[in-house]
Structure 1
Amino acid sequence: MKFTLSWLKDHLDTDADLDRIALALTAVGLEVEEITDRRAALAPFTVAHVISAEKHPDADKLRVCRVDTGDGEVQVVCGAPNARTGMKAVFARSGLTVPGTGLTLKPSKIRGVESNGMLVSMREMGLSDEHDGIIEMPGDAPLGQPFAPVLGVDDPVIEIAITPNRGDCLGVRGIARDLAAAGLGTLKPLEATPVAGRFPNPVAIRITDDAKSGCPVFAGRTIRGVTNGVAPDWMLRRLTAVGLRPISVLVDITNYVSLDLGRPLHVFDAKKLTGDLTIRTAAEGESLKALDERTYALGAGRDVVIADDAGVQSLGGIMGGEATGVDETTTEVVLECAWFDPKRIAESGRALSILSDARYRFERTVDPETVLPGTEIATALILKLAGGEASEVTVAGEVPGFDRVIGFRPARVESLGGIVVDPAAQATILTRLGFDVVQESDALWQVRVPSWRQDVEGEADLVEEVLRINGYDAVPPVPLPRVDVVTRTAANDRRRRAGWVRRDLAARGLVETVNYSFLTAAAARRFGGGADELHLLNPISADLEVMRPTPLASLVMVAGRAAARGELDGRWFEVGPGWRGIAPADQRNLATGLRTGRTGPRSWTGQPRPVDVFDAKADILAALAAAGMDADKVQIVAGEAPGHYHPGRSAAMKLGPKLTLGFFGELHPLVVEAHDVKGPAVGFELDLDALPEPKRKADRTRPALVLHDLQPVERDFAFVVDAGVAAEALIKAVRGAEKKLITDVSVFDRYEGERLGAGKVSLAVSVTLQPVERTLTDAEIQAVSDRIVAAVTKATGAVLRG
């Protein structure tokens, strides 16, 4: 919220200077974000008298001006068409920097004629976009003095932060009320004398039953004979100072009242209306071309609109329509002053993605009691600045009643706020803020809340009002009690898992990404998601419309964007949420990774190879180990991965027959193609929430390092098994044959051919035996070998290959 100092003093009778006002604003909770004080910057630019303005000898559009600056005469070459003998203008001497252009002036020659300084325009002073000529000062302007106070453009601009509950402070008067309550001055009475109607309102107004909840009251009147010219300088200066572009006097008046009182208004060109006005909800298929020149498809039964016999002409409380907007030819207007329900305004504004000053105020609650006063104030301004005569006021509906009385105990200020405020001072503060205080007893008051403070709902809110007006600086700082015992961290091993996994995956060369938890519905469906209940009601963009089922989907989109930029060989991971439904248990914390293109060295020492399913398997096993799981206890089951994986090159990781920990494998070719990923892509998903609670050791110290001084023994076995037998089953059988001596088992060869028979393969494994107490004898090694063969045969039906 921006306003100027003089604007504030229109409502606040005070002798406080700018610094004191700024401190008071922050002290009452209206935090000052910025103060722009142009007085110092504009002070060097002074009033000058143009003694003569003669045509330049070598340029038709230039004039050589002899200028009296008050400190002497200088010669200035000027190209402004309005530069003339006898006028008073604004002079910038050499050495100054022009605010609007950043140009530092210095003596120069223009077409051979010396020029010292510059006669400046409004745009060159940074005051407006006006640059058709130099600034013309009044004839009685004091020569040699700063020009800014003469034109009133030295008014400091104050910008404050407004919290969403303080809709009353979206008008200058509401801010002045808070400062007056804080003792910084007196709130001036508001002049809202009714303007007598000169004729009956020719435009009838009605509110349909379906719209009464969204617009319970609508006041309108016709004003004819207006001239829609330029607003007066004082209004233009204030609007420009706070960042609004002046348009025309009628539009500028509505903007001014909106900022002045926090009361949005609208004017229709009465001659562009067809028939009467009806406030109703939008019908199916209706649209509106608004004043921002965009066409909006309205929501049937959702959006409150103002329509005439020709159709919708305005989106109530948000934006008017282009068809009935005022312009320079307007001579008759219908003034609208209504109250709209904040929730309905917010719903419509979000659905249509319209941001306007009116929506900003209405969805933060505008005082409903200002409907009639706002109509009278705006009417008076229009008659004064644009002329014309006004009709009688037509009011449709009724102002929504607001009658809230709160029982308030003055002692609660100390018990809740921690400071002592005299009850008399509390009553004064609340009364100045507009609350009606009835003191039933010293211990209990009845406080009636004013219509502009509908955010005040209970006793604690009244305590806050007393505290902030008394000054937040008056609240003493109280240190927290010292804690003698250092508490143990709330993070357990389950919470720490995500960090462990991140660190390990990063160590493996994967790059961590952080993505939005939303994506397109089409992308979500490719990964088994996209359910209707997971669609966002108000997505931040069309590409982020539904909650993602897995972070792997986000990684594939990252890979597609990287491929479009020439990065074909990528490796990424993300630890984040995925959604299966809307229940709390349906949100899962997943560790996911993706590799694309090739991997391996790129030099004469070796050739890179395409990534494959075993790269993804190695990544998920590493993530399991980092999370504290024993990977040897996990079963790898082919054919159970979801549809976004290649059906023949993927698997599920399970702990027992029912508990699925994750999936890994090559992505389905259709998924890769849909996201424009180049080359092979393999990935994994590990459900961190599905992992069992890690077992806590009785002793947190690290175990002693065990180094064996006996030579390990390696033995190789080749087994003929059915082609459908997983190598994992064979490895588990080997490990289970002798748990004390066997320290490592690995598959080093796979062979299939006619010699083995149809449906048979040969798997060769290498087994490492580590003696502990003494060197193993041949007989002991052979006994272990026999147990290995027997165990594999029993578990898989394999036979030792001859």
Structure 2
Amino acid sequence: MLVSYKWLQEYVDLAGVTATELAEKITRSGIEVDGVEQKSDGVKKVVVGHILECEKHPQADKLNKCVVDVGEEEPVQIICGAPNVAKGQKVAVAKVGAVLPGNFKIKKAKLRGEVSNGMICSLQELGIEGKLVPKEFADGIFVFPSEVKVGANALELLNLDDEVLELDLTPNRADALSMLGMAYETAAILDKDIKWPETDVNPSAEKAEDSISVKVETTEGCPLYTAKVIRNVKIGPSPLWMQARLMSAGIRPHNNVVDITNYILLEYGQPLHAFDYDKFGSKEVVVRLAHEGEKIVTLDNVERTLTGEQMVITNGSEPVALAGVMGGANTEVSSDTTTVLLESAYFSGASVRATSKHHGLRSEASTRYEKGVDPSRVRPAAERAAKLMAELAGGEILEGRVEDDHLTIEPVTLSITLEKINRVLGTDISESEVVALFKRLQFEASVEEGTFTVTAPTRRGDITIEEDLIEEVARLYGYDLLPKTLPKGAATAGGLTKVQEKRRTARDFLEGAGLYQTITYSLASEEKSAQYALESREPVKLAMPMSEEHSCLRMSIIPQLLESLSYNIARQQDSVALYEIGSIFLHNGEKEQPDEQEHIAGALTGLWVENAWQGEKKPVDFYVAKGILEGLFEKMGVADLVEWRAAQIEGMHPGRTAEIVFSNEVIGFVGELHPTMEKEWDLDDTYVFEFQAEPIFQYELPELKYSPIPKFPSISRDIALVVDTTVTAGTLENIIQEAGGKLLKSIKVFDLYEGEHMNKGEKSIAFSLTYANPEKTLTDEEVVKAHERVLAAVKEKVGAELRG
């Protein structure tokens, strides 16, 4: 919201308070002011000039030689290239020595042999954005009305000597989306009175109800619709002061009638719409829901197809406006309009928001309806607009308003005790001070035995609970004046939950292992959202995605990690290792919230070890990725519960992929990308892993028990087993552990051989077995028996033979 300091002065006495000081006070009271713009900062010596003569430049077809009276003893000659310059115009002239925006200095110059003593300016050259310049002056110089005085300060006439406060409003402060709303706020802060604009009119004898009727069929979406009729208007430019204020507020002037509706929008915060009565097509206004597939061409000349949930204004048969969003082109006020049908209504914010989003059409009106307008201003805004149309467009106001009223919104009344206010704020404010603060806000307030009864006006829709009243007291009393107090009560030591501790442990381990943490988007394309998902479900689609690439919630983190890998590789980072602890989302049926699961995922490519001084290089392989996970599970205390099984997973290398099994449940996988996927992502050998974090984080670790160092020696035996290539080391390890019994304390794989001395389809896996008894010294006989049980078990279950 842009607030003109000069305009605000019309409602509140700001004597002795500069714009910068006011901005500081407003910010300290709870509404942030992003900045104060001085419209003509550094600009000087720009005056109104009167063009006495204008003729073509003798040496240039596109230039004109003008003689201009700038209020000095002698007129000056100025060369101007604007296509609309003409004799008799009053224009903005930057005299020699003037400074324009951008520190552009005007000097005496010679253009094609002719002297130019100054510059005739367009509004853009004076610092006004091109999109705000009236269309008739968009490609040329600005022409003042004939009544302005020659030599007058052009910056003042164009409101460029003003200062504009830019407010950063939160959604709950819709009341501040108008000049009167900010007048209430300013008056409360400064403890001043408000001067209201005049709305009294002198209507004609003819009654408005004889020219129009109003019927609302959808009272839930439009509880109040009021209409006024103004005859004999003369369409033309609005006064310069109005155009200047509109441009300062970011709105382009059009004509006097349309400008008045926009002016009231800014002044009251109440959107209005002006229809050309003669183009309306009937003498009745009907507000209803659109018919499915019904069409309307809006003021932006776009044909829009409507749905049955969207509210429209009709002439009884066809739509003439999208309610609260934009009018229709078929009833637009134009240069030949003579009678205006003026609409002022209270539309449901939810209805306007749905229509606006569906059509991708946001307007100043829809913004205010969405956030909530003050129902008590619907009628005064219409009266004020009618008064201005009579004054500025020569209109004749028909007596009365025609309306359909089903509005039942009442002011909110709340009770709160003085004790609670002081207890929450830590203050010692008296009853009289609190009552005075509420009166400054123009809230009705009374107090009895320490309890306040406060009625908040309808303009303050954000006041709904006791805490809102406490906030109002605090911000007007002054946040800076609130005492510094320490909280009282029993203190509770802070700390991490068990899940938070485990999450931090996982993060510390993975970073210690050399992986870098990433945080990627939870959104993906429909195709990528399902890649590498641990469960097969329909993707969760967004209702209004930003793009096709971000249209669904992800079901796996790996595609985002691969995108990050590819991005880094493309920028000559040859070795990259990334991980992410984040959420994935699984479809849980229509109209149901998706299941959210926390996953841990990683992706590695390039070299894992590069020791330049020793010449050592180790590329990433399956065992590096698996080893990282083994170390992580060991750190988390669950290594004994994890198994690894060879797996076939779409998008993964068929011989270098394993499932991660935790407590007999598959929770994830680790392995190499399939070559086709590596090519798709423009990657070399790349290894990834992903698993569900919840089973690991939620697992209750058994109580740690101390085991003393064994007193008795252990005995080691090495065995090399020849097995089919389909048999995994993990399978053999499980068989050996079960058969070895209590005496077998550890098993380690130390060799894998698949070479020329092996039969086709066979491999040799070597294990080192350690036997020990904590209670006595082992005998050879005990070890031999245990070892024979191991050899018999592996032969029986997987056909393993000792390698000779």
**TM bin (shorter chain):** 0.7 to 0.9
Deviates more, 1:71-80 or 1:408-417: 71-80
Aligned partners of 1:309, 1:137: CA distance in 2, in Å?
41
Distance 1:585-1:490 versus aligned 2 partners, 3 A rule: farther
SS of structure 1 residue aligned to 2:243: helix
2:664 is equivalent to residue 664 of structure 1 = no
Aligned to 1:587: 596
- Are the aligned partners of 2:59 and 2:112 in contact in 1 as well (CA < 8 Å)? yes
- Are the aligned partners of 1:720 and 1:801 in contact in 2 as well (CA < 8 Å)? no
Q: Tell me which of 633, 648, 668 is aligned to 1:624.
A: 633
- Are the aligned partners of 1:313 and 1:324 in contact in 2 as well (CA < 8 Å)? yes
SS of structure 1 residue aligned to 2:371: coil
Distance 1:479-1:352 versus aligned 2 partners, 3 A rule: farther
Distance 1:17-1:616 versus aligned 2 partners, 3 A rule: same
Aligned to 1:495: 500
**Residue 367 (structure 1) shift:** 1.0
Aligned partners of 1:142, 1:720: CA distance in 2, in Å?
106
Aligned to 1:398: 406
Distance 1:530-1:224 versus aligned 2 partners, 3 A rule: farther
- Are the aligned partners of 1:76 and 1:117 in contact in 2 as well (CA < 8 Å)? yes
Distance 1:46-1:547 versus aligned 2 partners, 3 A rule: same
Could you list the per-position Cα deviations for residues 175-216 of structure 1 after superposition, in whole angstroms to 9, with x for gaps in the alignment? Answer: 1112223344211134222563634453432111xx211111
Aligned to 2:731: 729
Residues 297-446 of structure 1: matches in 2 within 5 Å?
Answer: 297-301=305-309, 303-391=310-398, 392-439=400-447, 441-446=448-453
Aligned partners of 1:72, 1:713: CA distance in 2, in Å?
115
Aligned partners of 1:326, 1:566: CA distance in 2, in Å?
61
Could you list the per-position Cα deviations for residues 47-93 of structure 1 after superposition, in whole angstroms to 9, with x for gaps in the alignment? Answer: 67989989766446343768878699987554457487997853343
- Are the aligned partners of 2:94 and 2:121 in contact in 1 as well (CA < 8 Å)? yes
- Are the aligned partners of 1:748 and 1:764 in contact in 2 as well (CA < 8 Å)? yes
**Residue 377 (structure 1) shift:** 1.2
Residues 49-64 of structure 1: matches in 2 within 5 Å?
Answer: 58-59=59-60, 61-63=63-65
- Are the aligned partners of 2:178 and 2:268 in contact in 1 as well (CA < 8 Å)? yes
Distance 1:277-1:677 versus aligned 2 partners, 3 A rule: farther
* Letter aligned with residue 529 of structure 2: A
Could you list the per-position Cα deviations for residues 98-123 of structure 1 after superposition, in whole angstroms to 9, with x for gaps in the alignment? Answer: 21x65344554432455565444433
Residues 90-109 of structure 1: matches in 2 within 5 Å?
Answer: 90-94=93-97, 97-99=99-101, 103-106=104-107, 108-109=109-110
Aligned to 2:477: 470
Aligned to 1:17: 17
* Letter aligned with residue 794 of structure 2: V
* Letter aligned with residue 237 of structure 2: V
What 5-or-longer segments of structure 2 have no aligned partner?
Answer: none
- Are the aligned partners of 1:714 and 1:768 in contact in 2 as well (CA < 8 Å)? yes
What 5-or-longer segments of structure 1 have no aligned partner?
Answer: none
Could you list the per-position Cα deviations for residues 1-36 of structure 1 after superposition, in whole angstroms to 9, with x for gaps in the alignment? Answer: 112122112222442432443333223322222111
Aligned to 1:6: 6
- Are the aligned partners of 1:730 and 1:795 in contact in 2 as well (CA < 8 Å)? no
Aligned residues, how many? 776
Residues 7-156 of structure 1: matches in 2 within 5 Å?
Answer: 7-18=7-18, 19-38=20-39, 40-45=41-46, 58-59=59-60, 61-63=63-65, 77-79=79-81, 82=85, 90-94=93-97, 97-99=99-101, 103-106=104-107, 108-113=109-114, 115=116, 117-127=118-128, 129=133, 130=137, 132-133=140-141, 147-149=154-156, 152-156=159-163
Distance 1:796-1:257 versus aligned 2 partners, 3 A rule: same
* Letter aligned with residue 25 of structure 1: I
- Are the aligned partners of 1:725 and 1:796 in contact in 2 as well (CA < 8 Å)? yes
Aligned partners of 2:473, 2:642: CA distance in 1, in Å?
64
* Letter aligned with residue 573 of structure 1: Y
Deviates more, 1:594-603 or 1:172-181: 594-603
Percent identity for Structure 1 against Structure 2: 26
Aligned to 1:798: 800
SS of structure 2 residue aligned to 1:186: coil
Aligned to 1:575: 581
* TM-score normalised by L of structure 1: 0.81
Q: Tell me which of 225, 239, 249 is aligned to 2:246.
A: 239
Aligned partners of 2:303, 2:75: CA distance in 1, in Å?
58
Aligned partners of 1:466, 1:175: CA distance in 2, in Å?
18
* Letter aligned with residue 424 of structure 1: S
CA RMSD of aligned residues (A): 4.8
Residues 574-653 of structure 1: matches in 2 within 5 Å?
Answer: 574-580=580-586, 586-594=595-603, 617-625=626-634, 628-631=636-639, 633-639=641-647, 650-653=657-660
Distance 1:402-1:531 versus aligned 2 partners, 3 A rule: farther
**Residue 260 (structure 1) shift:** 0.5
Residues 659-738 of structure 1: matches in 2 within 5 Å?
Answer: 659-665=665-671, 682-691=687-696, 693=699, 695=701, 715=718, 717-721=720-724, 724-734=726-736, 737=740
**Residue 498 (structure 1) shift:** 3.7
* Letter aligned with residue 422 of structure 1: S
2:182 is equivalent to residue 179 of structure 1 = no
- Are the aligned partners of 2:668 and 2:689 in contact in 1 as well (CA < 8 Å)? yes
- Are the aligned partners of 1:167 and 1:366 in contact in 2 as well (CA < 8 Å)? yes
Aligned partners of 1:492, 1:562: CA distance in 2, in Å?
35
Aligned partners of 2:76, 2:203: CA distance in 1, in Å?
57
SS of structure 2 residue aligned to 1:361: helix
Aligned to 1:515: 520
- Are the aligned partners of 1:734 and 1:745 in contact in 2 as well (CA < 8 Å)? no
2:287 is equivalent to residue 284 of structure 1 = no
Aligned partners of 1:207, 1:140: CA distance in 2, in Å?
47
Aligned partners of 1:247, 1:413: CA distance in 2, in Å?
50
**Residue 257 (structure 1) shift:** 0.7
